[in-house]
């Protein structure tokens, strides 16, 4: 099903001014080159909401984000603080990412996208080992993503971004 994943992601991300064609699809992830870094995206069935990771090798920062079809219950505002809870193998939780600022944007199709503030380079290691991620907005779940293949996705994302440095 990589073509369905790639097509769905291309449609969602094209509205967000992201290159429409992924340079690589490794089910369930699609990878995009962006100046000045790279992005990895996966869709959560059946809603097709997307989980996003970005890495900028030049500035050495990592971002996470997600799309939400109906975000009216989350309220508005720039710099909305959310907690990010990581579920690791064996059910271990990591509550270390609290009060992360997320910036909200509305896509033309009505989908809302939330992207985190840039986080220091070591954040990629934390996201490398997760099986699920929960975004918590004022005590309520704003987004939940059960994930596969995050270790490979983070490795590909970092390699892609580092490869972008030499092409300038």
Show me where the domains of the chain are located.
2-165
Q: Alpha-carbon torsion 59, 164, 28, 108, what sign? A: positive
Residue with tokens 């918590």, as numbered in its chain: 136
Q: Which pLDDT does position 64 carry in this prediction? A: 93
Residue 2 CA: distances (Å) to CA of 43, 106, 143, 152, 161: 11, 26, 23, 16, 22
Q: How confident is the model at residue 78 (pLDDT cuts 50, 70, 90)?
A: low
pTM here?
0.84
Q: For 130-152, what is each residue's pLDDT tens digit?
A: 899 999 988 899 999 999 999 99
Q: Which pLDDT does position 135 carry in this prediction? A: 94
CA distance 153 to 92: 20
Contact 107, 127 (CB under 8 A): no
Q: Which pLDDT does position 3 carry in this prediction? A: 37
Q: Which pLDDT does position 36 carry in this prediction? A: 78
Return the closest-CA partner of residue 76 out of 112, 117, 119.
Answer: 112
Q: Which pLDDT does position 134 carry in this prediction? A: 93
- Dig out the tokens for 58 from the structure: 């030049």
Q: Please state, rounded to an integer, the average pLDDT across all residues of the chain.
A: 80
């Amino acid at each position: 099903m990589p073509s369905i994943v790639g097509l769905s992601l291309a449609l969602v991300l094209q509205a967000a001014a992201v290159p429409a064609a992924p340079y690589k699809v490794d089910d369930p992830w699609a990878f995009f080159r962006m100046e000045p870094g790279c992005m990895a995206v996966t869709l959560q069935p059946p809603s097709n909401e997307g989980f996003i990771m970005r890495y900028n090798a030049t500035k050495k920062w990592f971002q996470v984000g997600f799309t939400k079809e109906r975000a009216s219950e989350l309220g508005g505002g720039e710099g909305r603080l959310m907690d990010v809870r990581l579920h690791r193998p064996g059910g271990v939780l990591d509550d270390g990412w609290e009060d992360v600022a997320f910036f909200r944007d509305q896509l033309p199709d009505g989908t809302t996208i939330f992207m985190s503030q840039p986080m220091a380079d070591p954040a990629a290691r934390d996201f490398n080992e997760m099986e699920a991620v929960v975004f918590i907005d004022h005590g309520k779940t704003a987004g939940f993503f059960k994930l596969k293949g995050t270790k490979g996705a983070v490795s590909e994302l970092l390699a892609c971004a580092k490869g972008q440095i030499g092409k300038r």
